[in-house]
Structure 1
């Protein structure tokens, strides 16, 4: 079973994987920096702010403050979504390259099997003719 894994690992185009690794790492680092290190949004002091505006002007200010915080959070989420999409695009391109290489190797393996079969038939035929004489 270990021989099968070794064969699979030898078929991987490691030069492409290694050359694309910095792009993947950079994209993952950007994604992590944009998501992982953001402090959580400040919670409202007394639970949820009232939904109905009172005659009190400070209530309107609290609502406006919450709206601005939500707009900022939405903008940050959009930026994170774009970073994630860029990372996914890079991974998809690398996956496409790997699939193309696998297809080329599969085609070569089929051709090699056919050539080996033809050579084996010729060898058996030649050996049979040589032994029958």
Structure 2
């Protein structure tokens, strides 16, 4: 199972992911700022428009019920958008942290590889010197 993940992760363009991570985080922050800065929908978004007068009270009651239901749906959608944008912002921040940790680990692996190469060369030279001194 892990081998399948490794083969998939091998084809991820990590340099592009690392390069674009700050842009993703900035975009999520901008989205959050735009969405959270907007106020909730107004009670009456069109105050200048007069409602049509009907002689039937039942029609008015039906229309009022529909308007109340639509305002509730609009308010619920606004809350969902806020929650979604907050989630996107949190995911972008986590992505940025993940990319930083991956970059830190990559640098550590490079340093450890270089150190291992130096140690291997020193060990090989030591082994050659030991055989050379014992062989002469």
State whether TM-score is above 0.5.
Answer: yes
1:108 equivalent in alignment to 2:107: no
2:75 aligns with 72
Structure 2 unaligned blocks of 5 or more = 1-56
Give the Cα separation in 1 of the matches to 2:59 and 2:103: 66
1:92 aligns with 95
TM-score by length of 1: 0.56
Residues 35-74 of structure 1: matches in 2 within 5 Å? 56-74=59-77
Give the Cα separation in 1 of the matches to 2:88 and 2:96: 12
The one of 121, 124, 127 aligned to 1:121:
124
Deviation, structure 1 residue 65? 0.6
Aligned positions, number: 80
Deviation, structure 1 residue 56? 2.6
Name the SS for the 2:115 alignment partner.
helix
TM-score by length of 2: 0.55
Moved over 6 A (4+): none
Structure 1 unaligned blocks of 5 or more = 1-53
Instruction: Quote the RMSD (CA, aligned, Å).
Output: 1.5
2:45 aligns with none
Give the Cα separation in 2 of the matches to 1:78 and 1:95: 25
